[in-house]
Homo-oligomer: A and B are copies of this chain.
Amino acid sequence: MTQPTAIFNLFFFNPQGDYRFSWRHPQSPGREIFTLKFYATLARRAEEAVMDNIFIADHVAVWDTVPSGIPHYANLRLEPITLLAALAAVTDHIGLMATASTSYNEPYNLARYFASLDFLSEGRASWNVVTSWLPEEAANYGRETLPAHGERYERAAEFIDVVRKLWDSWEEEAVLLDKQSGDFADPQRVHPLHHQGKFFKVRGPLNLPRPPQGHPVIVQAGSSEAGKQLAASQADMHFVFMSDIAKGIAYRADMNRRLRALGRDPGYFKILGGVLPVVVNSAAEKAERQALVTSLMNDQMALDLLGTYLQMDLSGTDPHAPLPPLPEEDHFDGIRTALQIIRGYDAGLTVLELGRLLLQSSDSWLVIGTAEEVAETLIAAFSAGAVDGYNLMFPFLPLDFDNFVAQVAPLLKARGVMKTAYQPGTLRQKLGLPAR
């Protein structure tokens, strides 16, 4: 039996890189972020490097209620499902992970989009389930305020359940297409849902046969209590914010306990850590990089990001004073994971220092060093069992991605930690996930 390799995703939210100011990098793309060509080039390079997935994060709004929003970072970008459908046509192997919200969609629509994407890509579709936490998003869908955290997760659980039932509504053998007899399908093998729950009433069946993967791969991020339970009950892949090996191992132990309690095999639950891999080949290069990052940053954006993550109005707060008391997690409707991370920061830092830290790390793990150092860090956390792989959140695109592919990937491959060729089969099969 061969040693399993780690999973590597090319992750992005901002097309210019993971920082909210990445668009200012001298080599960052300009208006080409609104063309298919930009993404097709990235996707083909990711496939040449034998990466596992393209993972596209999403919001359904512009982050514009903060002062820096539109002036300095409007995060305009293509919509993930349509973008990945187009990329399905120009790639052959890589998984296509699209973020879509359970708070602002209908299950029948999403079940169709992902089933259709699964057919178009011959079994490479994946859905990153989010519940959406920005008040700006709620306002685009008729709501005065963000739905409460618990309600969003309750709706998400029912939503996924309905989507799975829609994917199951046609048995594998239901479609006959018998031209001679005129039998299109076997009604005994088609199952309307007649679902009636707290949030949804859906009759079914879906108007597509069972997708090539059965169920497209389900991804979930978010490490609040509700998030972890949703992941344990529904997700194939779980995206976490990890900053050291010991915490990663403890996190996995907690998830394994939850999975076993639900009768699931933890071996079939893939945990991916978010990392920002940056290759610098000398101390001088590292210092130069930090100076560039500092020059591109914007203090207002740092304060806005911190305030948004905490869902606190910091406009009256002295940026050079320590943070005011933080919200209690139990009554917090934002990203509880972000709240936990901010709690973990040095309490002696000022508001602005914290904001700048957050802006640079994107609340994730900045792994900066020589190619060898980056590779060793990634290998260590994988080998220790802290994670099954990584969401690679490159700070600057395509620069940091190109450096990773050229310098780090060969080292990972030489050590047997990264695939050197794609296996045949669907994404689910390639990732070693069970049929579902």
- Find residues 80-120 in chain A having any chain B CB closer than 8 Å to their own CB: 81-83, 85-90, 104-106, 108-109, 112-113, 115-117, 119-120
Interface core residue of A26, A34, A72 (most chain B CB under 10 Å): A34
Q: Identify the closest chain B residue to A61 (Cβ).
A: B207
With A70-B184, A79-B208, A106-B104 as known contacts, state yes or no: A36 contacts B88, CB within 8 Å. yes
CA distance A25 to B266 in the complex (A): 49
**Given B21, B70, B185, which contacts A182 in the complex, CB threshold below 8 Å?**
B21
Determine, out of A133-141, A228-236, A373-381, A395-403, the stretch whose residues face the partner at the interface: A133-141
**Does A78 sit within 8 A of B, measured CB to CB?**
yes
In the complex, per-residue mask of A11-37: 1 if CB is within 8 Å of any chain B CB, else 0: 000000000010111101011001110
Is A179 in contact with B82, judged by CB distance below 8 angstroms?
no
> Distance in Å from the Cβ of A174 to the closest Cβ of chain B?
9
Given contact pairs A78-B208, A112-B79, A116-B83, A89 touches B184 in the complex (Cβ within 8 A): no
Q: Which residues of B contact A113 (CB under 8 A)?
A: 79, 81-82
Task: Indicate which residue in B81, B105, B140 contacts A82 across the interface (CB closer than 8 Å).
Answer: B81
Q: Which of A198-206, A303-311, A329-337, A357-365 has 4 or more CB atoms under 8 Å from chain B? A: A198-206
Least CB distance, A196 to chain B, in whole angstroms: 9
Specify how many copies of this chain sit in the oligomer.
2
Return chain B residues, CB-CB under 8 Å to A179: 23-26, 28
Chain A positions 56 through 71: 1 when the CB is less than 8 Å from some CB of chain B, otherwise 0: 0001111010000011
Task: Report the Cα distance A109→B105, complex, angstroms.
Answer: 8
Q: Is the CB of B74 within 8 A of A34?
A: no
A220 within 8 A of B: no
Task: State A89–B190 Cα separation when bound (angstroms).
Answer: 34
Contact residues in B for A109 (Cβ distance below 8 Å): 60, 104-105, 109
Query: 1/0 per residue A120-164: CB within 8 Å of B?
Result: 111000000000000010011111000000000000000000000
When A23-B177, A83-B120, A86-B89 are in contact, do A34 and B209 touch as well, CB less than 8 Å? yes
A212-256 residues with Cβ-Cβ distance < 8 A to B are: none
Q: Is there contact, CB below 8 Å, between B298 and A71? A: no
Say whether B140 contacts A202, CB under 8 Å.
yes
Indicate whether A76 reaches chain B with its CB closer than 8 angstroms: yes
Which B residue sits closest to A297, measured CB to CB?
B182
State in angstroms the CA–CA spacing of A21 and B178 once bound together. 12
- Residue in B74, B85, B122 whose beta carbon sits within 8 Å of that of A184 in the complex: B74
A175: interface (CB < 8 Å): yes
Chain B residues in 8 Å Cβ range of A182:
21, 24, 72, 296, 298
Most chain B CB atoms below 10 A, which of A31, A140, A185, A208: A140
Determine how close the nearest CB of chain B comes to the CB of A383; give it in whole angstroms. Answer: 39
The reply on A75 being an interface residue by CB < 8 A is yes
A48 at the interface (CB under 8 A from B): no
Whether A40 is near chain B, meaning CB under 8 Å from some CB there, is yes
Contacts of A79 in B (CB 8 A): 112-113, 115-116, 208
Tell me, in angstroms, the Cα distance from A136 to B121 when the chains sit together: 28
> A39 — nearest CB in chain B belongs to which residue?
B120
Interface string of A367-410 (1 = CB under 8 A from B): 00000000000000000000000000000000000000000000
Q: In the complex the two chains form, what is the Cα distance from A202 to B88 in whole Å?
A: 32
CB-based contact B36/A120 at 8 Å: yes
Q: Shortest CB–CB separation between residue A94 and chain B, in angstroms?
A: 14
Residue ranges of A at the interface with B (Cβ–Cβ < 8 Å)? 21, 23-26, 28, 30-31, 34-36, 40, 59-62, 64, 70-79, 81-83, 85-90, 104-106, 108-109, 112-113, 115-117, 119-122, 136, 139-143, 170, 175, 177, 179, 182-187, 190, 192, 200-209, 296, 298
Pairs across A and B, CB under 8 Å, 30 listed:
A23-B177, A23-B184, A34-B119, A34-B209, A35-B119, A35-B122, A36-B119, A36-B120, A40-B89, A61-B203, A64-B192, A72-B182, A73-B184, A74-B185, A75-B207, A77-B207, A79-B112, A79-B115, A79-B116, A81-B85, A82-B113, A85-B85, A86-B86, A86-B89, A86-B120, A89-B89, A104-B108, A105-B106, A142-B201, A143-B201
